[in-house]
Structures are given as structure tokens and as C-alpha cells.
Structure 1
């Protein structure tokens, strides 16, 4: 049948182009991004370690309700700005607490099970990380360690994942 038309290759090509153009493919949004946020439970307090380079200083932290991530803009349930202690400036944040910050929101009620923790540095740059509170609470940590997606890490190990020598 020499006159038989091949339909599959053009259809497959069109589908591949459409998926790539729409961004609908599986893979990390930034494969080179190896940064991690750390979290741990201290009594009834959640302490988060945000990765920062030695020259960076935290400016603002926002916590969104990731359980409502299907919303276009998940609600901000807590924020803090104007760090005034050395630990807050270096990215150690006690969520729901006024400790270390000039301004902050009140504790949310109820506290969401999954948080999206976002931050801004003095240049206005920042990132966000999703933290599962049940996973953090269940983590077996040694003193000074934080739960991360890659296992227990110290604050220094979390900061060391950043490429602080890249000129931007």
C-alpha cells in the first residue's frame, strides 16, 4: 500500500510541541536548585531555618496555608518583618512568635498542617518552601538539627547548600 498516509508522526509532533509550549511536562522547575529549608519542633513552637549566605540578612517571612494551595493565592496566615536579633537575621525564625522581629502577625487559629514558608532578603529576592508539620513533628533529630526533605541537617549544613560565590 504505497499510498497509505502516515498520521501518527505529525500528531505526535504536534502533541509534543503543545505540551512543551504549555509547560506541561514532568520535571523540577529549577534542577540546579538544591537549597533546603529546615524545621523543628521545640515544645509547642515551630522553628524554621531559612538558608542564607553569610552576606545576606533576612528581611521578611510569610507563612501561607499550603493546605489551601488550590486557591490562586493561598492565604497568608502569619508574617514577621524587621529582624532585630542575630538569629532572626541569620534565618532562624520561631513561627507564631514575636521573638526577634519588630513587626509580626498574631498566631493563626488553627495552625495549618502544611505550610508554605516564604522569605525576602534585603535585595527583595526570596524563595518559598513547603513544610509538612506532621513530618517535622515525627522527625528524630539530634540537638541543633532541623528536618529537611533530605534528612536531618544543621543550620550550617542548610546554609552550605547555597552557592554564595555566584555574582548576580
Structure 2
């Protein structure tokens, strides 16, 4: 489950949604409301993120932002990279803090500048994309087998993360 920010105004919406779903009137609700999980693992002093992508998906930009930033209209960007240059980066792998596999990247943030909860997102050339939220401590403590990534659904491989999508053949 992807964490969401709580607001006082959410209760009326949640109650209305509960009333609609218990009455069976769900024809206007999305058929797949739970987005696919992103994966992350610790490699040395970096975090490697695996985005779920189809072979035809194009990644343009990866951003890491401060999930807990309530002081700004948009959360503070901690790190970014653009224009993948390697097959692995184009396939949804991003090694945070290094810029490896990308033409341009922000400088590595100081360890003290990395918040405890990070949002990680990618955008395609049209501005669409996927994102997820991770607790850095959880990634650091995850016990994973080689090739696995920690996800909110448990450990998954890169192929299993991509397999969550129904890609056109």
C-alpha cells in the first residue's frame, strides 16, 4: 500500500466512497485503483530503484523528493536525473545519488539532506509517469536475495515488478 497524506477533509470522501462501494455502485470507479509497486534496494551507499515499465515506456526524468515536506506547495526535490543513456536506466533502473546511466544529474546530497521518507518518481516525455514512497530505514534493513527489491508487496525481482503491468505485446 502506498502511503498517502492525511487531511481532515478526507473523511467525507472516504465515507462517500464506502457508501458507494457497499451498495455495489462502482461502475465509475477505476478498475485497478492500486498502482504497481516500485522496488528499492541498498547497494553500498546508494539506493537502486526499479520502476515498473513496459518495453515501450520512455523515462525522461527521475526525481527524489521529501515526502514529509509540508512547508512548500510542492515537496522539496532532494535529487534528480534526466535523459537515460544506458539500457538499464531505460528499463526503469535508477541508482540514486550517482546519476549512473543518465546524461544529467544533480549533485549527490549530503546524508543529512536525505529525509526519512522519500518519494521517488519518473516522468516520460509527456509528463506522465509513476511514483512511490519509501522509508529509507526500511530499505536499509530489508533482507533481500540477490536480484530482489523491497516493495510494499514484499520482495520482488525486476521481472516481477515489470510483470505487474499489462504491457501490450
Query: Which TM-score applies when normalising by structure 2?
Result: 0.78
1:45-92 CA deviation, whole Å, 9 max, x = no partner?
A: 110001100111211101111121464311111110010011111111
Task: Tell me the residue number matched to 1:92.
Answer: 93
Q: Does 1:142 align with 2:145?
A: yes
Q: How does 1:1-168 map to 2 (within 5 A)?
A: 24-25=13-14, 32=32, 33-69=34-70, 71-109=72-110, 110-165=113-168
Q: How many equivalent pairs are there?
A: 146
Q: What is the alpha-carbon distance in structure 1 between the residues aligned to residue 54 and residue 100 of structure 2?
A: 22
Superposed CA RMSD: 2.4
CA contact (8 A) 2:66 2:117 kept: yes
Residues 140 and 102 of structure 1, relative CA distance in 2, 3 Å threshold: same
Cα distance, 1:108 vs. partner? 1.8
Q: Larger Rg: 1 or 2?
A: 1
Separation of aligned partners in 2, 1:153 and 1:75: 29
Q: Distance in 2 between matches of 1:69 and 1:148?
A: 25
Measured in 1, the distance between the counterparts of 2:94 and 2:158 equals: 12
Q: 1:30 to 1:138 in 2, by over 3 A?
A: farther
The answer (yes or no) to whether the contact 1:34–1:162 under 8 Å persists in 2 is: no
CA positional deviation for 1:133: 0.8
* Correspondence for 1:10: none
- Provide the secondary structure at the position in 1 that maps to 2:53: coil
User: Runs of 5+ in structure 2 lacking a partner?
Assistant: 1-8, 18-28
Flag as ranges the 4+ runs of structure 1 deviating above 3 A.
none
Query: SS of the residue aligned with 2:162?
Result: helix
Q: CA 1:30–1:118 in structure 2 vs 1: closer, same or farther (change >3 Å)?
A: farther
Distance 1:118 1:44, change over 3 A: same
Gapped regions of structure 1 (runs ≥ 5) = 1-18
